[in-house]
Structure 1
Amino acid sequence: MNPGNKPPLEANAPINPGSDAHPAGMRQRGERPVPALLHHCSALLHAMYDGGSGLFSYSTRIVGGSYVNDFQHPLKLRYTINTLLGIQQALQFYPLDWELDRMIEQFLRANRAAITNPADCGLTLALLARANDPRQQEFINQIQKILEGGNANNLSAQDLGWMLFGCTNAARIGQRQADKDLADELYRTIRDRLIVPETGLPHFSLTGLRRRCTSFGGVVYILQSLAEYGSTFQNEEAVALFRHGASTVIGLQGPQGEWPWFIDAKRGAVLDWYQVYSVHQDAMAMLWLFPALDFGMEQARPAIERSYRWLFGNNQIGASMMKRDPFFIHRSHRRDEPLERPRRLARSAVSILLHRPSRLRATGITLNPECRSYHIGWILYAWAGREGFAEFTELELLQ
């Protein structure tokens, strides 16, 4: 099993200390021709990058034909980690113009003390493990302390998913049994406390209303980590959990390929469709749909095609989410109403109480004309090295 586009590496459970598990491609630039999509995404990220701070923007808009970046929101830290991971993945396959080692060094020098969130620790661990950076041990230690602190009930699906993703990468590449043991502990927590057996979906958290109101993002990161863990350690149980959850989510895809944002983990039903995010359609869904396809789940192929075709006008408002000149991808479709978040939570609570699934709206939907850097980073990560689907990767659908 080798889902996704990772270079094939030895990964025998529990671990194979004698294998040459160093992914040399992480340090060497690939020489494949760059697909049009990834060429334009890389150029857009250059416009989103601030070389002085070493950060990628929180939000970017087009004003008067030019990109305008916002670096004010603290999520710029997470978005930068995410984007560096995407660039790292793309450089395995393509000769893109990025000085990744210098960028990682600059980012950590200025921001290391601020990386304390459990999810961010997991994603940073993956980035550093894949770069063979010795500072990865600091984040392994942080994750160990988080688990020893007895605060598992406060961890979200994203926290646990990204920590498992990071520890699995560290164990796969470094071939250290201690890293494998930590990954095993995280996997058991997800399996025993987060996954709903009836649906295969994760609770978003272990307490409160959000226990049942899981987000598409939370589902994505749990499925991604299960696929990574299952394939790395040849764990058939993890693969079976992945397949169950993936099948449930494929069944929730909308009539035009859209993915819902809020999902009832217990019933496997849509609680609220909005916002419908471009990043879900063209990147984050691929983080589990590509492994599903590689595991032989052929129903994933049409789901992939319907997912990215949504961007090109095959959607509720009939508008392309992608623009050519200058290249840009609009963020989402959202309800045109105030107090969006509390209303969404209220609708979700009513849906749970009345067992009433959400419906797509015929009117009152508007386009959100911003773009986030992590979106473009996930495109690079998900699509780097992936063969096929040229209508998307070569932008044949973009008019």
Structure 2
Amino acid sequence: MTRHEGRLGALAEIDAPAAALVDRMVDLSVRGLPPGYANGEFVFTRRGRLGDDGRWTAVPEGRSVRYSAIVALGVATLPEDGQRAALAGDTVADLVGNLVKGLPDIGNLGDVALIAWAAAEIAHPELDRGLHRLAELEGALRTGDPVHTVEASWALAALTAAHRVLGGASELEKRLEHAGQRLLTGLGSDRLYRHVLGPASWYRAHVGCFADQVYPLQALARLHAHTGDDAALRAAEQIAAGICAAQGPEGQWWWHYDARTGGVVEGYPVYSVHQLSMAPMALLDLADAGGTSYMKDIALGLHWMTARPEIDDELIIDDLDLTWRKAARDDPKKIVRGVRAVATAINQGSRIGVLDRIYPPLAVDRECRPYELGWLLYAWLFSLPRDAPGKQG
């Protein structure tokens, strides 16, 4: 499949400039990944630094297992020569193999789920090790323990991908069913997902961020595509309709929502990765699974990257092969987020509009994390199989 088929081709049919932007960004992502790759893993970020000559550079900082696993998912969509270009000579099998070796020392459920998911996507011979470590961490959870929505979603995505590769072994079948039910039950009667499935601090218990919507939407769409679970499709459709109804007039995918109503608690920051990658990834998976197509909403979000009302600064930096991370308020202590979370906990729909004047969204976060480029590749070069009986097409 070429870029001009599949998802990019479908986008080009309704919005050629948006498709041209994505095509450009795919090339940028492949070029932009090697500077953050060293010794078999990716850095946490490439942080912008302004030199005495007035020019920006991007300095690598830290290491991240999580971002390495996400990049593995994205790079797996490339042919071998593309993988070696993105991974400084390595293949995605090399990257996943390095991640699998470190599993015994990884205690975060989400990180392990991502590694297992990546291993499943390429049918890595050590996929069982990822699934075993995921089972260990899930087995340590007690009944009623809170689980982050994002991590529960990645676990479901990993188990769905593994089930597609390994088939219906009874233990894996049960784990897949449990993971699906955990996510569906966690939505309850809410309009959107909360940040945590289970107990949380009272003043933020009703709040869910954009990631808390995108990843369950994606995982549930994939569950439906694989098994035909209609409850999963209904929940995915509900979340997709909710975030698209709340989308900003210039295509902004807002940051924090009141899960009870679907209203926006706090819109900023607006993240490049949401506009280019995460919203398209989840919504395209829904369409691939036989659900509603939101291609016009996706295209609107893409155009925000090149024309924004908030800031004049360019966010796509071709010279550095990256995107600056977000347009944000000059609010380093996140006062607006906290005040609005408390206000909406007490009174649904409360905005405290004066905060928009005190903290206007004029700041640019000049860093780029590798997962932003990894998800971009995965969003636009992946095509979701539809395995459920009667669902092929």
1:115 aligns with 2:91: no
Instruction: Tell me if the contact between 1:264 and 1:271 (Cα under 8 Å) persists in the aligned partners.
Output: yes
Given candidates 242, 255, 263, the residue that maps to 2:249 is 255
Distance of 1:230 and 1:310 partners within structure 2? 31
| Matches for 1:1-399 after TM superposition, within 5 Å | 35-50=23-38, 53-63=39-49, 64=51, 67-72=57-62, 76-91=64-79, 97=85, 98=87, 99-109=91-101, 111-151=102-142, 152-177=144-169, 178-192=171-185, 194-209=186-201, 210-294=204-288, 295-298=290-293, 300-340=294-334, 343-358=336-351, 361=356, 363-384=360-381
Secondary structure of 1:113's counterpart equals helix
Instruction: Tell me if the contact between 2:149 and 2:196 (Cα under 8 Å) persists in the aligned partners.
Output: yes
Per-residue Cα deviation, 1:169-201 (whole angstroms, up to 9, x for no partner): 000111132222211101111112x11334153
The structural deviation recorded for 1:147 is: 3.4
The structural deviation recorded for 1:357 is: 4.9
Count of matched residue pairs: 348
Distance of 1:223 and 1:56 partners within structure 2? 27
State the superposition RMSD in angstroms.
2.6
Secondary structure of 1:211's counterpart equals coil
The structural deviation recorded for 1:5 is: 6.7
Distance of 1:170 and 1:343 partners within structure 2? 41
Calculate the TM-score normalised by the size of structure 2.
0.81
> Kindly tell me: are residues 364 and 277 of structure 1, through their superposed partners in 2, closer, same or farther at Cα, counting changes over 3 Å?
closer
Calculate the TM-score normalised by the size of structure 1.
0.80
Distance of 1:77 and 1:128 partners within structure 2? 14
Distance of 2:181 and 2:6 partners within structure 1? 26
Letter in 1 for 2:43: S
Identity of aligned residues (%): 22
Aligned residue in 2 for 1:394: none
Per-residue Cα deviation, 1:243-284 (whole angstroms, up to 9, x for no partner): 111111111101111111111111111111121111111101
> Kindly tell me: are residues 108 and 203 of structure 1, through their superposed partners in 2, closer, same or farther at Cα, counting changes over 3 Å?
closer
The structural deviation recorded for 1:112 is: 2.9
Q: Which runs of 5+ in 2 are unaligned?
A: 8-21, 384-393
Secondary structure of 1:309's counterpart equals helix
Letter in 2 for 1:297: T
Letter in 2 for 1:375: E
Per-residue Cα deviation, 1:78-130 (whole angstroms, up to 9, x for no partner): 11111111111233896762422223333444x33332211111111111112
Letter in 1 for 2:94: R
Q: Which runs of 5+ in 1 are unaligned?
A: 7-33, 387-399
Distance of 1:93 and 1:168 partners within structure 2? 28
> Kindly tell me: are residues 313 and 269 of structure 1, through their superposed partners in 2, closer, same or farther at Cα, counting changes over 3 Å?
same
The structural deviation recorded for 1:375 is: 0.5
